[in-house]
Structure 1
Amino acid sequence: MTENASAIIVRDLMAEFAGLTGLDPPHDRPRRYLWTDAYAVCNHLELFRRTGDATYRDLALRLVDQVHHTLGRHRDDDPRTGWISGLSEEEGEAHPTRGGLRIGKPLPERRPDEPFDERLEWDRDGQYYHYLTKWMHALNRVSRVTGDPIYTWWAVELAGIAHAAFTYAPSSGGKRMYWKMSIDLSRPLVPAMGQHDPLDGFVTYSELQAAAGGTILSVEIADMARICRGGNLATDDPLGIGGLLFDAGRIVQILEGSGRIGQLPGRAGSAYEDLLASVLEAAQSGLARFAGGGTLRYPADYRLAFRELGLSIGIRGVGPLAERVRENPALSRRADALMRYVPLADEIEHFWMDSENQKAGTWMQNREINTVMLVTSLAPEEFLAI
């Protein structure tokens, strides 16, 4: 595919997304979903970077505003009203992320007296930690592109409230994390810990601290470092592998910015280089299992596009990562071992760009998230940057 053809596809797909969700033309009740919108913000910033057309920058800013005024406030079917933080209207406008942000699921959250139903829980609202970290990253990218620091500060405020709500100290000692919290962050809805949530938080907090300067999230970073220790990162889930590659790329950029590809800012020793090596090793073993599993030969009705596209997005960062660690022999060897899997990204993109495959129920049921993540895979630079 030529660069011009790719640019046209990216532009048209994002216009389709904007129309479907009430972003452009703007709708008074837009349909917002935090994970999808985090990627969409970065895609609009990427279009602005590529074209210089301020329309795309303005769409990114409008999307941020819609997310905060939709997912930062209580649902229309909730007896509670206003900002989920409990702040006044004026304070909420100034600090729209201080109460976290809702997922945007179709059903209300489970009531305290309601029994847990695993099937229903997937469609119930609340807050997901790994969605919040994606939004922190998107806000930071907005600050980087526009030069306005307020978006990074909103991300830092979100990091602080999310960390306080999602981490806890069990009686056995140490710290753990909840996977899903209630809309007001007062109670856990799913107490299990997400496999990569501590790593994702550690990297995202480090990204924000590097952008904001100082040691503003040093306590939270240290917490996450401790939770990460001894954790099992290995997975054969394509979305999980893509997340590992995304986090690895951000770690390397943070280290590059500090002038140290062997330690995280403000922390000496080999422990952090070991963590990065562990992330790369887990990604490599996961890719080997996924590539050998044969799922990419299945028909579209038996595949989930957004999970595969999460992998292809991560793979798009492997080349830049390998270049950045070239002077570190241990990391360079691990990065080079990942290069053999780069063609998988093309394979995944080509499959899901096929109009026949987009007729599958698995595509149509998740149309918006699939569309946005396909765009990110085709034009990943802004999403993969810090």
Structure 2
Amino acid sequence: MWTTCGRALLFCALSVTHTFNFAQTDQTLKIGVSGPFSGGSAPMGDSMRNGIRLAVEEINSVGGINGRKIELIERDDAAKPDVGAKIADELTQKKVVATIGIVNTGVGLASIDAYQKAKIPLLVAVSTGTMLTRKYAPPAAPENYIFRISPTLDLEAKVVVADLKRKGISRAAILADATAFGQDGLKAFHTQARTAGIAVAFEERFEIGDQDMSGQIKRARASGAQALVVWGIGPELAAIARNKEALGWKVPLLGSWTLSMRSFIDLSGKAGQGALMPQTFIQDFGSASKNSFLLAYERIFKTDMIPSPMSAAQGYDGMHLLCLAIIQANSTDGSKIKDALENLKSRYQGVITSYNKPFSGEDHDAITHNMLLMGVVASGRVDYAYTEDEKRGALLRMKAR
């Protein structure tokens, strides 16, 4: 079994085979972490941070990188773009080696300019906002310092629309929150629905904190929609599910990956049963690396109830990939770490997939369509929606080229 110890031994072996261009000091390697650790997005931020912390514990347990321990500089952006921008400025001024995090698209859009200007790599672990990795992609800029280990909104929308087609649905309604995440999700869904020949019979926005959306549900039902698609964060999505059930509208509920959040499952109760969403990671025992991760998470954080399993897994894998890049770069220089990420020589068996050259100079998104599975809320947890997805979940879902 590829255990936590096995992962640590890998980093130990890598460390001793390089002579690093690091100053021979006792200073730590400082890596920034930006995420929402308070507010409605905290379940994602806390889970992501726990995944990152778990990876760092594994690496530091064998002496870190060339004898230098990793120190996480954690900052709570509270899902607020202005706060995220200030954190990005602070972390780049502190000259962190790199930063990992970013849960909310609005925060990401407000943060990326600072990292790009400072030539410090930012690895987006949770946000699916498509523009985050594309704004500085060639030819827009000669170098791009923004990377991502989460799926894009485009991929999510493609999977959701494919499931609608699978169910024979030709008319769908969509409700999206009033954030950048909701706006981009709405746009991506329209694009994919149009390509697939699915009519958007109704669309409307809602605000963060809204708890009664009966009016929107009534109007969506009146449109003749055969399914309801939602794009937002857990608490508001739970309110939609409860309103939908109270009105007796029995059509499928599908949406963004955030339907897998513990806050949605707990707050929606039986009204959330059957909700469908794209996933990179479903919390069940399977591969040796997944088993090791889940057991270590429970051991360290004293719970097997991960508020957002997908966020935790992506934070964990992202941190390990970042460290592999630092090792390969033989330096803490941002441009060299960027180059290493774009040309990773080591294949890494993560908990989501086996990463073999996950990035290139032209492509800074590690996740491709074939890696996504369809999850369903069932019996108070997220399970595989289909038997074939469960079978695929046990296989190596390598990046599509």
TM-score by length of 2: 0.28
Higher relative contact order (CA 8 A, sep 6+): 2
Greater share of helix residues, 1 or 2? 1
TM-score by length of 1: 0.29
Greater share of strand residues, 1 or 2? 2
